[in-house]
Amino acid sequence: KAGVTQTPRYLIKTRGQQVTLSCSPISGHRSVSWYQQTPGQGLQFLFEYFSETQRNKGNFPGRFSGRQFSNSRSEMNVSTLELGDSALYLCASSYGQTTDTQYFGPGTRLTVL
């Protein structure tokens, strides 16, 4: 099976812009989670979607949003970018509805100038 794929792999934006990141889960997986990885804060949970519904949300401002489509693909959007949003954004997919093994994609490296 193909792994989790994320596009684009690298992005450079300027403050105030918005960005959309995409994630395609492993075939058959219905849960998609997003994480932010930074040197200072480590890996932090953003949100999780299962069958197009957001099930969990981390402690991030409303500028961070996401959605999931009927084919389980997911997007996350960050509006009004700030310098502190520079990070590696990781997507993970899993099969089940309850806590399950998550498989991570390679991430999207976002740099905000």
Partner 1 sequence: AQSVSQHNHHVILSEAASLELGCNYSYGGTVNLFWYVQYPGQHLQLLLKYFSGDPLVKGIKGFEAEFIKSKFSFNLRKPSVQWSDTAEYFCALGAGAAGNKLTFGGGTRVLVKP
The residue ranges that bind partner 1 (CB under 8 A) are: 31, 33, 35, 42-45, 48, 50, 55-56, 58, 90, 92, 94, 96-107
CB of 81 to partner 1, least distance (A): 24
First to last CA, the chain: 37
Tell me the residue type at 56.
Answer: N
Residue written as tokens 């519904």?
A: 53
Whose Cβ is closer to partner 1: residue 66's or residue 107's?
A: 107
CB of 32 to partner 1, least distance (A): 9
Whose Cβ is closer to partner 1: residue 81's or residue 91's?
A: 91
Whose Cβ is closer to partner 1: residue 41's or residue 80's?
A: 41
